[in-house]
Homo-oligomer: A and B are copies of this chain.
């Protein structure tokens, strides 16, 4: 055998962590960092070039820590490699403007998508890659192990035991990567309690958390999943009726994920009316993976919903969720525990159907929300909106999409794109070429930022009808089916009426009348709740909408 290599140091990470902690000990008292010293503390504990995970996540923001980091002195703290699941705060990009950070790996950028584009162009920022949430967590355990993790919770004790509140979200997946590879974990909390017994529950054990700091104000949390029923239009209701009859009922969909659009909110709100009339209660839509959407309240109250597992929480839904433990995942303290990693996993592998919306679809069925000048990222949609080739268990809906009698055929995840043929402002949804293709070229990305690929889409649903894409026997046929439901968009104008008639009779596409859906019934009177006030009433007063939704 070869001679083993001479003595080498195998705990450089641990040694470096100890060195930094020795410096940090001059500021912190045990694990507690004084609020006013946080900038100095971060300067002390961070080194240039560090990989820093910042819990900017879909809803919950470690905003006290991100503001503090952005105030650090760039001569001490620079060239950080930031890993931010959701880039959503102004200071996330200030880090780059000030030279504190240099490289960014992320999954989603909402309000900051324009600025990312601009910074990239100006050379202020280098993008590692755009991921789905769950890919980004995965890489924390492979090639992006962090030196520092900045996270957020409601409460901690002085030993670091952390109660996240209902928005547990990304925290466990982010923290574990540092806690078990000699990284440093710092948690901002709204309150530090002296007595561990004052923590409602422990979401993350104290031995995983190195420091806690009380924030100057409670962390910011976005109500991203609240849709005011008042804004649901008859066209959404027509599409929702088609979804229920032409997809959920037809394929026997038991478990599902809904996106956040008004289309899917309409489905949620007509289950107790239209769905009930069809006698479908208890037969479909029993198991859900989604955040606590307020528009799901009427379906829950009328007994449609067996369970809801959530990625995150939703502002105003805390009391309602806590009062419905048979439905939601709650801790023994009574409040919800969400978990984005596990819910994304469930949304990928354990549900029959994903249904979502998008901004642009091309003639092949590829879709994206990236438009010129906006590098918005993917979030979780690509993870849930594809047919997972690693799935091995069967369900009726999954099996129902098999179109051959090959004994080696496998079922398919239902991936539904539910869009109006035109967006607000008269922009066509169906386009010759997605902006994403040009964006990739302009910014030198190795791949076009496609949200969902055409070959993963099983159904396209528009106000015109449903295209059952999983039945397409060729790319050409898939294109014809998409064109047939694309209305008067450039793609829709390609359709040939004779072909469309044939495809209808072959069952490749279906118009409302083919599904027994009556357009005249598609009115707002079909909504179980027509306003935020109605939702509050359905909830028995437990739902407490954020101020901006309180217009009554």
Contacts and interface: CB of A to CB of B under 8 A. Distances in A.
Interface of A: 1-2, 4-5, 8-14, 128-132, 134-135, 137-139, 141-143, 145, 161, 173, 176, 179-182, 201-208, 254-255, 272-273, 286-287, 289, 298, 301-303, 306-307, 309, 323-327, 329-333, 337, 339, 341-343, 345-346, 348-351, 364, 366, 378, 382-394, 399, 407-411, 437, 440-441, 446-450, 453, 456, 528-530, 534, 537-538, 540
Contact of A453 (B302, B389, B450): B389
Contacts of A301: 4-5
Given A447-B394, A529-B1, A141 B203 contact: no
A141 B328 CA distance: 10
Contacts of A364: 408
Contacts of A366: 408
A302 B2 CA distance: 10
B392 A389 contact: no
B350 A139 contact: yes
A414 to B, nearest CB: 14
Number of copies: 2
Contacts of A255: 142-143
B132 A1 contact: no
B537 A273 contact: no
A233 to B, nearest CB: 18
Contacts of A289: 141-142
A345 B137 contact: yes
Nearest to A378: B392
B528 A138 contact: no
A345 B138 contact: yes
Nearest to A12: B326
B453 A408 contact: yes
A25 to B, nearest CB: 16
B390 A331 contact: no
Contacts of A201: 205, 207
Nearest to A362: B408
Given A13-B325, A182-B325, 16 more contacts: A4-B302, A10-B323, A11-B325, A131-B393, A137-B342, A138-B350, A141-B329, A141-B346, A143-B306, A173-B342, A341-B342, A364-B408, A384-B390, A389-B453, A394-B447, A410-B447
Contacts of A203: 205
B145 A307 contact: yes
B1 A141 contact: no
Contact of A181 (B135, B137, B329): B329
Given A2-B528, A10-B327, A131 B392 contact: yes
Nearest to A276: B2
Contacts of A349: 132, 134-135, 138-139
B207 A205 contact: no
Contact of A205 (B205, B325, B456): B205
